[in-house]
Structure 1
Amino acid sequence: MGKYIGKSFAFEFAIAAENSVPTALTYVPLGAMRDKSIKFSWDTADATADDSPAATKEQIATFKSVEISGSGVSRGTERPNQDTLEAHINTPSAVTGGQPCVWLRLTHPSGKRYYGYFMVSEFSTDAPYADVITWSMTANSNGAVTITP
């Protein structure tokens, strides 16, 4: 079975309205990335009662959230679409209703694709004294996330 290297996992975004047709958008790569991550998690509710089997806690799932995060290197004036994303997050446009939201699309080397509308909750730049300048971002799903095989 083949193995994949992380840099072949494409990370792209599009600044567009939430009601846009995601497959019709023009996505641009968020370049000079080092790390990319997608995480699915469920909120749960305690369903334990006095008749729970063997006095064991019971839970039910309530809401799913998807978190996408990434980080990369700032390369002088050649910041592949990083400035565009950062500017939109800092001052969200009317296109997204003044919210720091974007469409994100991640494409696995196998061809599997994840896409959805996300709120970018964090975008940061780190500039250590004796090291390369880096940036990072975290976004949370703002609606359904589609996975295509």
Structure 2
Amino acid sequence: MAKMTGMKCLVKILKEGTDLVLAGQRNASLTRSAESIDATSKDTEGFWKESLQGFKEWSIDADGAYVSNDAAYTELERSFINSENVDVLIELPSGTKYVGNATITDFSMEFPYDDLVTYSISLQGNGALDIVE
């Protein structure tokens, strides 16, 4: 199995059938988690707790260098201002894609006097995260 670096993993915003690459992206993370439901009962074998997987959730955090007039960034900004969700895609070099609808929960910018203008964004999944290969 081939190992891969994160350099070619892209975060994209889907708009009207077009994949818009989020320009200037440096880092991104996809977090997936599930609630644990306690399924322990008096007849549980050996007094060990049992659990079942409950509701799942996912989120994406990304940051990068701000690129003026970037179509993906412009769409994120428009969606944030208008309180609209966005369709997002993470594409791995292997061809695997994670696709879902998300709410923008944080959309920050930094303006250091001696460095690049940067952005950071947090997206909270709205429903399922699909895997496409």
Q: What does the per-residue CA deviation read over 1:97-143, in whole Å, with 9 as the maximum and x for residues that have no partner?
A: xxx31111111001111111112222111234544332111112212
Q: Would the aligned equivalents of 1:47 and 1:58 in 2 still touch at CA under 8 Å?
A: yes
Map 1:3-82; keep pairs closer than 5 Å.
3-15=3-15, 25-75=17-67, 77-79=68-70, 81-82=72-73
Query: Contact conserved, 2:32 with 2:58, CA < 8 A, in 1?
Result: yes
Cα displacement string for residues 46-85 of structure 1 (whole angstroms, at most 9, x for unaligned residues):
122233333222211111112122111124x354532331
- What is the number of residues matched between the two proteins? 133
Q: What residue identity is the alignment partner of 1:90?
A: I
Where does structure 2 lack aligned partners over 5 or more consecutive residues? Answer: none
Q: Give the 4+ runs in structure 1 shifted more than 6 A.
A: none
Partners of 2:13 and 2:22 within 8 A in 1: yes
**1:120 equivalent in structure 2:** 104
Query: Structure 1 stretches of 5 or more lacking a match?
Result: 17-24, 93-99
What amino acid does structure 2 have at the position aligned with 1:74?
Y
Root-mean-square deviation over aligned CA pairs: 2.1
What is the alpha-carbon distance in structure 2 between the residues aligned to residue 113 and residue 34 of structure 1? 18
What CA distance in whole angstroms lies between the structure 2 residues aligned with 1:32 and 1:55? 53
In the superposition, the TM-score normalised over structure 2's length comes to 0.83
Percent identical pairs in the alignment equals 28
Give the secondary structure class of the aligned counterpart of 2:42: coil
Whether contact under 8 Å (1:15, 1:101) holds in the other structure is no
Q: CA offset at residue 43 of structure 1?
A: 1.2
Q: Is the 8 A contact 2:24 2:65 kept in 1?
A: yes
Matched, 1:102 2:86: yes
